[in-house]
Amino acid sequence: MLYDRPYMREGGSGAAWWHSAAICLIFVNVAVYLFQHINAVYLHWPLPQYLALSSEGMRHGYVWQLLTFQFLHIGAFHLVFNLLALYWFGRPVEEALGSGRFLEAYFASGIIGGLFQTGLGLAFPAYFGQSVVGASAGVFGLVTLFALMEPDRVILLWFVLPVRALYFVYGALFLTLFFILVPSNSGVAHAAHLGGILAAMGYLKWFVQADRRLFKWRRFEIPREEPELVEAAASKRKFWRRTEITSMEDMPAEEFISREVDPILDKISSQGIHSLTVGERKILEAARKKMARRK
């Protein structure tokens, strides 16, 4: 049955913006950054030693650093840059994949990026042995997912230069490889960025397209609000632009399925579920509701 398919059961994007996992991550990162400053002035706890990611810490078994380093930042610009990217790219990725997959992809990218960085740090400590903080490995993973799902979308590089999303990721991949092969003491964790990019590519291929999950998130997913209005499918896939809203409550179920749902199912068969827009996912949800009412 239509509503037995996995993509009809996913937690969706209909939740209010404050229920967004991306927004929650932004608030957590800001709270941790403020605590870093409080600690520097009053508490003087050795946070960098135990929470920042380093080859030395991994040698001592501080494996939690692979997670905690993603919430620490060295300055306001570092924090703001990562959080803006998390907002711009994280929210559309979360809307497309659901909160569970979004969190899996984000933290998997961060952890794999951290492993790349510490692995090179152990092999070449002079160039990669410095401690690492920041959310950029996970953010690069989200940018990569966005670009692979929406390759023709335009990104304004430095808010000025328009670049296709896919070309942006190719450029980032080239730069990270170049600065790994020709290292410098710039303080940028290029190996972590490379790991984040590759982890996102692997997650899309081996988990999203294969319809598998890293963890069972259903009990933790925020229930989405049942939509009363359905977005009509647009002629081009868009993450940002609102499409025309059309009420389909009065349309007979058979006509609704044949006119709206069958083309979407054909698209899933040919391009994969990751190719669906937010509007198309809402149409599938409306179809599930109509089928349920007929019981």
- Token pair 């068969």 in the structure block, residue: 269
Confidence class for position 124, pLDDT limits 50, 70, 90: very high
The answer to whether 33 and 8 have CB atoms below 8 angstroms apart is no
Take residue 131 and report the two structure tokens written for it.
């401690």
- Mean pLDDT over 218-227 rounds to 48
Give the pLDDT confidence score for residue 229 in this predicted structure: 39
Give the pLDDT confidence score for residue 283 in this predicted structure: 81
Please state at what angle helix 278-293 crosses helix 262-271, rounded to 10 degrees.
130
CA 178, 184, 185, 186 dihedral sign is: negative
pLDDT digits (tens, 9 = 90+) for 182-214: 998 778 999 999 999 999 999 999 999 888 888
Phi, psi (degrees; rounded to nearest 5) at 57: -65, -40
Task: Give the residue, 156 or 92, on which the prediction is more confident.
Answer: 92
CATH numeric code, 17-208: 1.20.1540.10
pLDDT digits (tens, 9 = 90+) for 273-292: 666 776 777 787 777 776 66
Q: What is the pTM of this model?
A: 0.73
Percent of the chain at pLDDT above 70?
A: 76
Q: Which ranges in the chain are annotated with CATH 1.20.1540.10?
A: 17-208
The answer to whether 69 and 133 have CB atoms below 8 angstroms apart is yes
Mean pLDDT over each residue of the chain, to the nearest integer: 82
pLDDT digits (tens, 9 = 90+) for 145-174: 999 999 999 988 877 889 999 999 999 999
Phi, psi (degrees; rounded to nearest 5) at 132: -130, 135
The answer to whether 128 and 117 have CB atoms below 8 angstroms apart is yes
Give the number of residues written for the chain: 295
pLDDT digits (tens, 9 = 90+) for 9-55: 344 444 455 679 999 999 999 999 999 999 999 999 999 999 999 99
CA distances from 11 to 95, 165, 263, 281 (A): 9, 26, 22, 11
Give the pLDDT confidence score for residue 160 in this predicted structure: 81
Confidence class for position 215, pLDDT limits 50, 70, 90: confident
pLDDT digits (tens, 9 = 90+) for 228-237: 434 444 434 4
The answer to whether 176 and 193 have CB atoms below 8 angstroms apart is yes
Cα 13 to chain centroid, rounded: 13
Give the pLDDT confidence score for residue 10 in this predicted structure: 44
Task: Indicate if the pLDDT at residue 100 is higher than 80.
Answer: yes
